[in-house]
Amino acid sequence: MRGQVTKRWFISGNSFSIDADLTSVLASFGKGVYTVVIWAETNGESVSLTNYSIFVE
């Protein structure tokens, strides 16, 4: 599956939040556990900043 790219980032001081619409992913794949991984590029290298699991029943 291809990754989703968000278009809304909110940055304030040392914090950030991201909005992403996962409706099409849930419609395609249904119930399960989804892992959201936040990637960034630093010094030309992609690095994982964090990940978050979403449980859909």
Tens of pLDDT, residue by residue over 15-30, are 888 888 888 888 899 9
8 Å CB contact between 38 and 49: yes
Note down the domain range covering 35: 8-56
Residue 38 lies in a domain: yes
Residue 40 lies in a domain: yes
Residue 35 lies in a domain: yes
Residue 37 lies in a domain: yes
Rg of the chain, C-alpha, whole Å: 13
Residue 1 lies in a domain: no
Residue 39 lies in a domain: yes
Whole-angstrom Cα distance, residue 55 to residue 32? 6
Count of structural domains, the chain: 1
Top pLDDT among 33 and 7 is at 33
Whole-angstrom Cα distance, residue 44 to residue 54? 29
Residue 45 lies in a domain: yes
What is the pTM for the complete model shown?
A: 0.63
Residue 2 lies in a domain: no
What letter represents residue 2's amino acid? R
